[in-house]
Structure 1
Amino acid sequence: MDVAVMHSALVIGTGLMGTSVALALRARGVTVYLRDVDSAAARTAASLGAGTVQPPTETVDLAIVAVPPPLVGKVLADAQGRHLARHYTDVASVKAETQHDVVDLRCDTSCYIGGHPMAGASRSGPLKARGDLFEGRSWALTPTADTDTETLNMALELVTLCGAVPVLMEAAVHDRAVALVSHAPHVVASLVAMRLESAEEREVSLAGPGLRDLTRIAEADAQLWLDILGGNAAAVADLLDELGADLSEMVAGLRAMAATDEAKRSSGTKTVGTMLRRGMSGRSRISGKHGRQPERFESVTVLIGDQQGELARLLTDADRADVNIEDIRIEHATGRQAGLVHVSVAPGMTAPLREALRTGGWHER
């Protein structure tokens, strides 16, 4: 099998994804060139250490096309026409339509492989980029019918250099999968958040971490998501149809629970309970830290002030317990200069953590 070695790369598109890829590659010693129709974005990415805006003087090893899905085919065709790289990939979140565009534009598909890192942020742009954005995340690779081995190996090296985990799949299978795990959830989050638009202020003031977690992704750029959903509309619509049937069943169950007839209440309770338990079962299938099945951690919650350096002081005090912190979550208190910090550790390890935090003057909640 051919072994790919990446020395140079060209990132076309210096938004969140492109700049994050560039930062990850630069951290591994790869020479990175940056290109964007928005020269200011490219200069911003360069100022962050993502690479240089100077054009490459020779053909690079890999070009990463990091533009919205509808533009991938045209940008790839242009890049191949200029012989900018030996191999090409992209990071678009829909693959079947992108692959069709690539074929229709008569791109050389032997040196191209589709890609989609399952990572992102609610805000876009190079200033939100991080070199560790892809650490431990899945990165789908969707070869064409004639993608050659060397191109596949180069893409696998890209994924490895970015700290991600490669998953090979067909383009159509990928799009059905992301409809389930990404695109439909975004629509649902947006619909829930939309209900808040006309809610009274006192109602919204009761929002807690559950609602914040559920609606966080609804903050993402609407135009970007129009492009994403437009490329995968049929798969998302099919899934939302199925979800609509589930919602109807849940509504019927809740109506029955509110009935005066005891038999109806019992039936409704059974329906709702079954669906909630199935939800728990489905949630448990999502891998946890480092790709493992999620573990049941125990948490210690303390009140923290909004002063500068308080979180660092908390972590320093927690470190004295010599306990590995598995997760940390901050819950901001509405209208107060304070918040709650939930520190998660392995089962049975809360006692030394509590002692260390008490010694540091922290108050548990």
Structure 2
Amino acid sequence: MRSAVVVGTGLIGTSVALALSARGVTVHLRDADPEAAGIAASLGAGTVEAPTAAVDLAVLAVPPALVGSVLADAQAAGIARHYTDVASVKAEPREDVVVLGCDTARYIGGHPMAGGEVSGPTAARADLFEGCTWVLTPTPDTGTETLNTALELVATCGGTPVVMAAAEHDRAVGLVSHAPHVVAALVAKRLAKAGERAVSLAGPGVRDLTRIAGGDPDLWVDILSANAGVVADILEELGSDLGDAVAALRAMAATDEAKRDAGRQCVDALLRQGRSGRRRIAGKHGIRPARYRTLGVMVGDQPGQLARLFADADRSGVNIEDIHLEHSTGRLTGVVRLSVDQRAAPALEDALHSQGWRIQ
């Protein structure tokens, strides 16, 4: 791939453009908002000048509802030899593409499973897709050359390709992305109505649970509207489970011992099933997550503390598998949770103790 057009210079489009430009691909930028395209160009994502001939690939980084019309216009203008998109929903755009009579032999749907709470070109990063799953959804007649060009795009951006049917993709992202976003918003909505003292008690658990609720509402309305039926089905099932949980908790508060025991059993089963489901989420490098031991290290909120901790951990010779930083409410301290192989944990603990670190 030597040249590309990126249509849409938000977070994803600009990140794609930055990744391609960093690897020597000539990238032309288009956006309905010329200012956004100009900002992306100023960041080194490419040029706003129109190409003089058809490029190798056009990447459509537009909302799902616009994929069909933008593809039709781009193909009519002949701006590229091959076309893909990066929309987070695939079935509805596919239907639009067919209805509008687009050349589906030179088009393949795509969805990099990456993003962030902050939108716009200034939030873009060339390494945004490093190690992320990038779903490709070919049409029944997508050509081999178009598929290979899309695979080259994914490899150039550092992603890992996964080929799926469009409907299968939408059911999957409804379960692992779209429905969780609605649930996070519902929990965060309760916080919006809570008193200041209650919210001040919020710790890392509720921060983790509600993190994705900080996403751009306009963007998420577009995403959810394109996958509304799937998400509604999942939330309906979740609502049934929630009703069972409410009934079990009511039973636990009853005066009758038999009801309390039955409620405890139901809640216990729920929590165990939840833990089992959590363990199915792939860990580092996409493999089944290993069991680690986590050491909580108390760290002061002063410059250089994290650098010193990591340097001391490095000298221990123990590989850090995961890191999580928790801030203490109302205190100038925090806890850095270092996850390591269980067998290596004692060596790391001894090494950090010897350097004066307080470990939980």
**TM-score, reference length from structure 1:** 0.95
C-alpha distance in 2, partners of 1:358/1:130? 37
Counterpart of 1:250, as a letter, is A
Matched, 1:259 2:254: yes
Secondary structure of the residue aligned to 2:82 is: strand
Give the equivalent residue in structure 2 for 1:327: 322
The structure 1 residue matched to 2:218, chosen from 218, 223, 227, is: 223
Give the equivalent residue in structure 2 for 1:276: 271
Paired residues for 1:308-323 under 5 Å: 308-323=303-318
Matched, 1:203 2:184: no
Cα distance, 1:363–1:159 mapped onto 2, change above 3 Å: same
Give, in angstroms, the shift of residue 37 of structure 1.
1.7
Give, in angstroms, the shift of residue 80 of structure 1.
1.1
Counterpart of 1:236, as a letter, is V
Matched, 1:79 2:74: yes
C-alpha distance in 2, partners of 1:312/1:45? 32
User: Which piece of structure 1 moves more, 350-359 or 67-76?
Assistant: 350-359
Counterpart of 2:168, as a letter, is V
Give, in angstroms, the shift of residue 165 of structure 1.
1.5
Cα distance, 1:363–1:24 mapped onto 2, change above 3 Å: same
Give the equivalent residue in structure 1 for 2:4: 9
Give the equivalent residue in structure 1 for 2:294: 299
Structure 2's unaligned 5+ residue stretches are: none
**TM-score, reference length from structure 2:** 0.96
Paired residues for 1:341-352 under 5 Å: 341-352=336-347
Structure 1's unaligned 5+ residue stretches are: 1-5
Give the equivalent residue in structure 2 for 1:182: 177
Secondary structure of the residue aligned to 2:221 is: helix
Give the equivalent residue in structure 2 for 1:46: 41
Q: Give the count of matched residue pairs.
A: 360
Give, in angstroms, the shift of residue 307 of structure 1.
2.6
C-alpha distance in 2, partners of 1:352/1:58? 61
Deviations 1:314-339 (A, max 9, x none): 22222111221111111112233332
Paired residues for 1:17-28 under 5 Å: 17-28=12-23
User: Which piece of structure 1 moves more, 91-100 or 133-142?
Assistant: 133-142
The structure 2 residue matched to 1:124, chosen from 116, 119, 124, is: 119
Secondary structure of the residue aligned to 1:123 is: coil
The structure 2 residue matched to 1:37, chosen from 24, 29, 32, is: 32
Deviations 1:190-229 (A, max 9, x none): 0000000111111111111110000000000001000000
Deviations 1:48-91 (A, max 9, x none): 22222222222111110001111111211111111111000000
The structure 1 residue matched to 2:163, chosen from 162, 165, 168, is: 168
Counterpart of 1:113, as a letter, is I
Give the equivalent residue in structure 2 for 1:143: 138
Give the equivalent residue in structure 2 for 1:3: none
C-alpha distance in 1, partners of 2:354/2:41? 45
Give, in angstroms, the shift of residue 279 of structure 1.
1.0
Counterpart of 2:104, as a letter, is T
Deviations 1:104-141 (A, max 9, x none): 22111110001011111111111211222222221111
Secondary structure of the residue aligned to 1:55 is: coil
Matched, 1:66 2:61: yes
Deviations 1:134-175 (A, max 9, x none): 222211111112111111111111111122121111111111
The structure 1 residue matched to 2:95, chosen from 97, 100, 115, is: 100
Give the equivalent residue in structure 1 for 2:227: 232
Secondary structure of the residue aligned to 2:185 is: helix
C-alpha distance in 1, partners of 2:272/2:128? 33
Give the equivalent residue in structure 1 for 2:52: 57
C-alpha distance in 2, partners of 1:82/1:308? 54
